[in-house]
Amino acid sequence: MSATHETKPSDSDLGHVGAGTPGGEMFRRYWLAISRAEDLRDIPQAVKVLGEELVLFRNGQGRLGLVGLHCSHRGASLEYGEIEEKGIRCLYHGWLYDVDGNCLEQPLEPTGSTFCQKVKHPSYPVRELGGLLFTYMGPDNPPPLPRYSALVREDGTRLVLPPRYWDYNWFNFWENVVDSLHAYVLHTDSRSERSWENAFWRYRGDHHLDAFPTEYGLKAIVRWPGPEPETEYVRLTTVALPTVFSLGGRGEEDAGFERLLFVTPSDDDNFMVFTSDFIPKGSEQAIEEREKARRASPSAVAVKEYDKRKHVPFKGQVWKEDYVCQSTQGNVGYRREYLATSDRAIILLRKQLLEVMETVQNGGTPMGIIPKEKENEMISLEAYRAVLTKSQVQQLLNNGHA
């Protein structure tokens, strides 16, 4: 498949991220998170991104490099190379590369050889923002690196969580983030003590799910009757293309808390998730308590001796509940589906991504790319859970339509 093929992208393209595929070319127009800054120490770090085997390192001068894993000479892995002042040196024959992929030395070549200048090793630009490292693997000049508020705000504490690695298709995870309702089914056991979640079961059938396009992606709003007659429970989540997800705090007591998830496919069957929290000054205690509850180990579930199912036990542990569902779905476009009303946000998300692929195919600028003139602006991805009055809800929905 070539990047310029004329076929309109379809669901099955969402699962493929290799170079030249519609999905792969789409991802290659955005900055993608590839590592946590604090994890990149003084040794090279192998990282697979969009099917490409790469190695990340910081040279002796502190500059960040992301270059091909396999040495351009005869392929040995630079993951085992030596980091020097000017770059990374292959352990096999001593070829030295700088962070831009230029070959600086070939010690075994004759004195006076200029072969070095003919070797260009694959490399991609890397930037650091808010404790995360991002790369751009596309053509031409990279667009501005989005300044998401959780990564640039200074009025509190930033906490980048350890990255997580998963072994199924990225899109199963991705569409789940806008599937707000699953939390009230799948994660019920683990949160049953919270009346907030239980509200869904009390008002089952009285809920509404809406999804609206925004400047950079979409927002999903799920709501149902609130505790007072003229109120509604509202859960708002926001997505920025291609794979940034904002799920905020829980209403007023956490005002200003932000959690951003960045999803980066390693290949068609594996992806990485980077999580960055921003905790505003004054909210530390409330957030700590909430997180403690979230991290609490599940009530010990006794596994029956005859229960040999691979993923058991999973109930009571949010990540594992998600893993069981998402890793068994099969890939979108290949699986048999009956999409329902509750999939409204997923339908919009798929539509947006397919449109973006088409835009990229046609040489256009896809949704979610920050225009040059807004390079320095802070981008706020709104997300919260709150009880709102009906008029506030109306306003929210109107804005959504606007």
Partner 1 sequence: MRNLEKISIADLARVSRGTPAGEWFRRYWLVVGTVKELRDIPVAVKVLGEDLVLFRDLDGKVGLVGMHCPHRGSSLEYGDIEERGIRCPYHAWLFDVGGNCLEQPGEPKDSQYYKKVKHLSYPVRELGGILFAYMGPEQDDPPPLPKYSPLVDNGGQKYIESTRYYDYNWFNFIENGVDPVHFSVLHRSDPSDGTWRSWFFNRHDIPYFDAVEMAYGVKVISRKPGPTPDTEFVDEKSVALPSIIQIGDLEFTHFHKPRSALTEGSQIEHIMFVTPNDDDHFMLFTADSYTGRDPEFFPKLAATRPPPPTGEKKAYDHRKHMPFRGSVRHEDIMTQGTQGSIDQRDEHLAASDRGVILLRKSILHAMKTVQKGGLPQGVVPKEHADEMVKIQSFTGIRAKGVI
**SS3 state of residue 218:** strand
Position 279: which residue type?
I
* Residue 86 or 182 having the CB closest to partner 1: 182
Task: Please state the closest distance from residue 75 (CB atom) to partner 1, in A.
Answer: 31
Question: Which residues here bind partner 1, judged by CB under 8 A?
Answer: 175, 179, 181-182, 185-186, 201, 204-208, 304, 306-307, 309, 311-312, 314, 321, 324-326, 328-330, 335-343
**SS3 state of residue 284:** helix
Task: Please state the closest distance from residue 248 (CB atom) to partner 1, in A.
Answer: 22
Task: Please state the closest distance from residue 221 (CB atom) to partner 1, in A.
Answer: 15
Nearest to 207 by CA among 183, 239, 243: 183
**SS3 state of residue 55:** strand
Task: Please state the closest distance from residue 318 (CB atom) to partner 1, in A.
Answer: 12
* Residue 194 or 281 having the CB closest to partner 1: 194
* Residue 196 or 203 having the CB closest to partner 1: 203
Residues 6+ apart with CB under 8 A from 182: 176, 325
Instruction: State the pairing for strand pair 147-148/378-379.
Output: parallel
Nearest-angstrom CA–CA distance, 187 and 235 = 15
Contact in structure between 178 and 220 (CB atoms under 8 Å): yes
* Residue 304 or 390 having the CB closest to partner 1: 304
* Residue 175 or 258 having the CB closest to partner 1: 175
Q: How many Å separate Cα 269 from the centre of its chain?
A: 15
Nearest-angstrom CA–CA distance, 145 and 151 = 11
* Residue 85 or 307 having the CB closest to partner 1: 307
* Residue 95 or 168 having the CB closest to partner 1: 168
Task: Please state the closest distance from residue 241 (CB atom) to partner 1, in A.
Answer: 21
What are the start-end ranges of the E strands in 147-216? 147-148, 156-160, 164-166, 208-213
* Residue 94 or 330 having the CB closest to partner 1: 330
Max distance between CA atoms of the chain, in angstroms, equals 85
What are the start-end ranges of the E strands in 314-397? 378-379, 384-389
Task: Please state the closest distance from residue 343 (CB atom) to partner 1, in A.
Answer: 7
Nearest to 332 by CA among 180, 181, 171: 171
Task: Please state the closest distance from residue 298 (CB atom) to partner 1, in A.
Answer: 14
Q: Residue 355 is inside which H or E element, if any?
A: helix 344-361
Contact in structure between 36 and 46 (CB atoms under 8 Å): no
Task: Please state the closest distance from residue 336 (CB atom) to partner 1, in A.
Answer: 6
Peptide bond preceding 44: is omega within 30 degrees of 0, i.e. cis? no
* Residue 204 or 374 having the CB closest to partner 1: 204
* Residue 46 or 339 having the CB closest to partner 1: 339
Task: Please state the closest distance from residue 335 (CB atom) to partner 1, in A.
Answer: 4
4-31 burial: b if 16+ Cβ within 10 Å, else e: eeeeebebebbbbbbeebbbbbbbbbbb
Task: Please state the closest distance from residue 22 (CB atom) to partner 1, in A.
Answer: 22
β-partners of residue 96 are 89, 105
Length of the chain counted residue by residue: 402
